[in-house]
Structure 1
């Protein structure tokens, strides 16, 4: 199998990496964090100008016709820069739901606005009791006189604090953890009955707790048949997170190597000590293992067989979690005391890596799922 990038993909990679290199050093990132949104609106506009916000959407819907590989390229570059803008929440998560569930009229209305940078979306799905169970939904939707209304509580809504609209999962029928009976609904974030409480996560990105009380909503797709779409979009999101994690780990490794070359002890650079060289090599091996699995997840993101796709994502998430722990812990330890300070960037990379591992299931959760499924390759 040929894993080389096409000419267009190589150009995309170069342009995104150049943008991040010029606009996302650690000091600039601190300034973005101090804005009211917690990210840079100017850079969000730049992403729109470059076509990044419309990248994974079909050209017929107002996008640029990219796929999982293009998303992988962008997410890895964003991981290197510790990017704060809600690309993952709006384009990957909510955008994935639009691609797979929205009607042609809804896509025609929403996707061009996303591509232009004038519309930000968030996926309000997780609930406090659900842990990693995607089907555990207690939020309810009911229809009366042709109008749908949603009531319930949503937790850890990524970028939900400043989203213009929300895509909310709600149960129209069935038991609390049943796969059947879940619908997706589009809600104006400022509609009557919506309240939001925003907060910073440990990696400085933003999330929100959202309450909905008899809030008017518009269905995406057929109410009650949304679970396969949610599961598919989460699998695609996991592939994107794996790519971001590779960027995070690669940056941690580079920062650590620079420190080993410059930090002196006993009259010479500590990178000259063989035991530290071995540990740096171990970091590189862990990164390459993660990179291989991230590429595997990217190739499997479009797999139509949900069982095979789920196996692949579970295996990738396991390796990403293990490699992330290895690389992050080594980076912190090899930096010594400075690695624990808020003023130095390596600790911020480790925090983001920790968040990535926990999103949509940590390594232990996916290991249990993969074991229950009979392993990566069913026998």
Structure 2
């Protein structure tokens, strides 16, 4: 039976309290990294990662390299990208081995949650798994969605019939449906969840831990169902859930996009996405971005090692850009951040707040964001989030 050592949750700051939306620089990968890093805060080692979603940006390629880099994990770790909703996340959890990080991600409503499986902590066990077909809502290979539009059929022949087939006790929480449906099915008032897809099961589990609730947790999607029983124990819950606010007004001027150079993308990837500086032999100074150095004797040093940079810092100077840039929402704010304790300053775009609201001396953290989409390729880097760096 799996145990859970810690859980992490993340909600974008944009949208309504009950319906968050991703920012223009966020996608499923950046949300997954936020939740995963929250779950790994002061936690143990990781040997594999499972990410469950229906919204991953790269379908014909892998998202593993960016995910591992953003999480600060070894690039040789196994990453499983699993297509599915709330039941798929519980399936992954119930069959996971120790030291597995499981992340569920959704974009509508937006949110992500993660758990680190361990050999101690909160104990769970598998309760049920029902695979039935009732494809009320479908999406084909090119993204076209068809909705049959019969919520009564979905409720009675999907959810209720699957619960009956599973021979389950009355749940303590149900993920994958709205609050009213969940309340009608549960033994008491269940937690209100910010998502309906893959992350919903883990948000429900985090709420059960916070409330000290044990019992049955069920994840449903159309007619599919999975359930786990929360037996008891302790797990740490780390939440990154800022207050919701409206997206700031912005202008997007059409124009020719900047084409991507995949050769340059590959050269810069490790330092840019893993947030690392170059350190040359015999020198304590760090270079960001990493670069060659010319010695005092005129020799060229091309060998350096990559060193992780701090992810917290202070605004050294700032500038808000109001001139429209083709393909980029404006206005936006740029800052130079003095990173903590390393003598490195980094230029970054500000995220998570309205343009023009950051001041010199503000503290914050560096967070992985999608800085652009060029030639269909999402390009990732780091932005400055001026919220409390703790």
- What TM-score, normalized to structure 1? 0.24
TM-score, length basis structure 2: 0.23
Query: Higher relative CO (CA 8 A, sep ≥ 6), structure 1 or 2?
Result: 2
In terms of fraction of residues, the more strand-rich structure is 2
